[in-house]
């Protein structure tokens, strides 16, 4: 059955209730991001863990603007024609990391299919700038597919982050309905290239879009076949009535079962829970 949008919402179960953001550290993170005119996926993606992560003094910086050239049916990030690239962004991010005294920094970006290099040079510059200003800080990059261009992916790899992540987002069968322009096998090739470089690789999927258990297990096997070491599973939450509808709210016990299966299959780390997102507990994945 096709995955469709729906103008009605399924009522969220009790285990998906979250606390409102608060606290002094949360305020400091928020003010630092505003001061440097930066974007975070925490805000643009409506992440349910924003309060917990910001209160702990961590954030996922989103580079290359906040308007994506793709329009994935699960994602809350704005889509359309992006603004010109902010050439000072690498230094602004590096200074924010320094101000917040981050021991681990997570970067992501919108897709920039409007740029000749899909944003690869800005990715590399930002990672290098963070390393220059914060030599003790470890870095994780959640990268787009760069249209499968191996030279561009290699450019990001050459900036030597400790971990690179690229999300499959869903199982192979549902990829055409869920992900705009992306291809399941192309994404596996991106992860394979990261793994082959010696940098730790990571990927994740959302549950509740109509996938079967067998498809989830097959996705695990596909990722392990390309050397993926870290795997995340979280509940899909419908951002608006224009996005894909939730087919199922997966129970916490089932997420725990998938975590145990993933570890037994051979992943180094598995984060699996209703509120888990790609950068959840990210600092421990580089150890």
| Domains, in order of start, for the chain | 21-286 (3.20.20.70)
The pLDDT value recorded for residue 270 is: 98
Given a cut of 80, whether residue 215 has pLDDT beyond it is yes
The pLDDT value recorded for residue 177 is: 94
The pLDDT value recorded for residue 18 is: 64
Given a cut of 70, whether residue 187 has pLDDT beyond it is yes
pLDDT tens by residue, 84-106: 999 999 999 999 889 888 888 89
Given a cut of 80, whether residue 35 has pLDDT beyond it is no
The pLDDT value recorded for residue 218 is: 99
Given a cut of 50, whether residue 139 has pLDDT beyond it is yes
Average pLDDT over residues 119-141: 97
The pLDDT value recorded for residue 30 is: 58
Quote the CA–CA distance of 232 and 241 in Å, as a whole number: 26
Quote the CA–CA distance of 254 and 261 in Å, as a whole number: 11
Residues in the chain: 287
The pLDDT value recorded for residue 56 is: 53
pLDDT tens by residue, 1-29: 455 555 555 778 887 776 655 555 556 55
Assigned token pair, 45: 């993606």
Expressed in angstroms, the distance from the first to the final Cα of the chain is 41
Confidence of residue 44 (pLDDT cuts 50, 70, 90): very low
User: What's the mean per-residue pLDDT of the chain?
Assistant: 87
The pLDDT value recorded for residue 22 is: 55
The pLDDT value recorded for residue 45 is: 45
More confident residue, 28 or 177: 177
Number of other residues whose CB lies within 10 A of the CB of residue 220: 22
Given a cut of 90, whether residue 180 has pLDDT beyond it is no
Number of other residues whose CB lies within 10 A of the CB of residue 215: 16
Among residues of the chain, what percentage have pLDDT more than 90? 64
One-character DSSP codes across the chain: ----B-SS-PPPPGGG--PPP-SHHHHHHHHHHHHTT-EEHHHHTT-TTHHHHHHTT--EEEES-SEES---TT--SEES-PPPP-TTHHHHHHHHHHHTT-SEEEEEE---TTSTTTTHHHHHHHHHHHHHH-TT-EEEEE---GGG-HHHHHHHHTT--SEEE---BS-GGGHHHHSSS--HHHHHHHHHHHHHHTSEEEEEEEE-SS--HHHHHHHHHHHHHTT--EEEEEE----STTSBPP-----HHHHHHHHHHHHHHT-SEEEESTT--TTTTGGGGG-
């Amino acid at each position: 059955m096709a995955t469709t949008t729906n103008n009605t919402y399924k009522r969220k179960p009790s285990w998906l209730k979250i606390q409102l953001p608060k606290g002094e550290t949360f305020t400091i993170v928020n003010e630092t991001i505003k001061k440097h005119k930066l974007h975070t996926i925490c805000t643009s993606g409506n992440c349910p863990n924003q309060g917990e992560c910001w209160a702990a003094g961590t954030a996922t910086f989103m580079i290359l603007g906040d308007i994506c050239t793709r329009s994935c049916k699960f994602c809350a990030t704005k889509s359309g024609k992006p603004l010109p690239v902010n050439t000072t962004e690498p230094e602004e991010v590096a200074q924010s990391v320094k101000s917040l005294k981050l021991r681990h920094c997570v970067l992501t970006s919108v897709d920039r299919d409007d740029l000749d290099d899909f944003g690869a040079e800005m990715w590399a510059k930002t990672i290098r700038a963070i390393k220059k200003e914060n030599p003790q800080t470890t870095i994780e990059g959640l990268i787009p597919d760069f249209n499968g261009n191996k030279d561009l992916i290699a450019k990001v790899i050459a900036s030597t982050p400790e971990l690179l992540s690229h999300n499959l987002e869903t199982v192979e069968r549902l990829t055409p309905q869920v992900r705009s322009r992306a291809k399941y096998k192309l994404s596996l090739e991106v992860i394979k290239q990261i793994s082959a470089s010696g940098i730790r690789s990571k990927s994740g999927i959302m549950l509740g879009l109509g996938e079967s258990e067998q498809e989830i297990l097959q996705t695990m096997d596909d990722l392990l076949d390309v050397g993926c070491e870290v795997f995340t599973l979280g509940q899909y939450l419908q951002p608006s009535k224009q996005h894909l509808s939730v087919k199922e709210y997966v129970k916490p016990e089932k997420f725990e079962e998938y975590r145990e299966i993933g570890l037994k299959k051979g992943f180094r780390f598995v984060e699996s829970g209703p509120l888990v997102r790609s950068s959840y507990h990210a600092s421990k994945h580089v150890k």
